[in-house]
Amino acid sequence: MATYITQELPGILRKEFPFNGKMSITGHSMGGHGALVTFLRNPGMFVSCSAFAPICNPINCPWGQKAFSGYLGSDKKSWENWDATELMKKYNGPKTSILIDQGVEDGFYKQKQLLPEAFVAACKQKGHPVICRMQEGYDHSYYFVSTFMADHVWYHADMLYGETKYLS
C-alpha cells in the first residue's frame, strides 16, 4: 500500500490529470494511522495531513501489539518505523500542521486503542504543530467522519492552495 500511495498513484495523477505535484493525505482509523505514517515517512511529499480517529501509537496498545507482532515479527524496535508517535519523535521534515478529529464517545478511544494524546505529546516535544479536536458526543462511525469531513476538505484546500481561511 505504501508504494501505491507514494509512487503509483502520483504517477497516475501526473499522466491522467492536470497535476501540479502538490498532494495531501487523510484517513480514518487504520487509514488515519496510514495517513500519519505515510506523511511522516515521506517528509515534504504531502503539503497537508489529517486523520479521523487514527490509531496513533500502536506499539503501546493491545490491538497494535497484536497486529505488529503478526505483520512485523517480534523485533519491537522495528515497530517504531510504523508507529506515528514514534516517527514524530524522530521527524525532521517540514513543520506542516496536522489536523486530527477524535470522537470522545469512540469505543476504541475509550479502550485506549487509539492514543491521540501520545501523538499530540510527541508533536509538542518536537515543536510540530498539531490540531487535535476532541469531539464530544461522537464515536468512530461514518456519522462522525461525515460530520467533520468538510472541515478536513477546507483544511487541505487551504494548505494546497496557500490560503489560511481554515487555520486562521
- List, by residue number, the catalytic residues: 29, 106, 140
> Which residue in the block uniquely carries the three cell numbers 508504494?
3
Q: Which three cell numbers stand for residue 56?
A: 496513533
Distance CA 104, CA 84 (A): 20
The candidate with the shortest Cα–Cα distance to 32, out of 57, 65, 3, is 57
In a 13 Å sphere around the CA of 150, the CA atoms on its Cβ side amount to 2
Specify whether the CB–CB gap between 63 and 29 falls below 8 A.
no
In a 13 Å sphere around the CA of 114, the CA atoms on its Cβ side amount to 28
> Which residue in the block uniquely carries the three cell numbers 496510514?
34
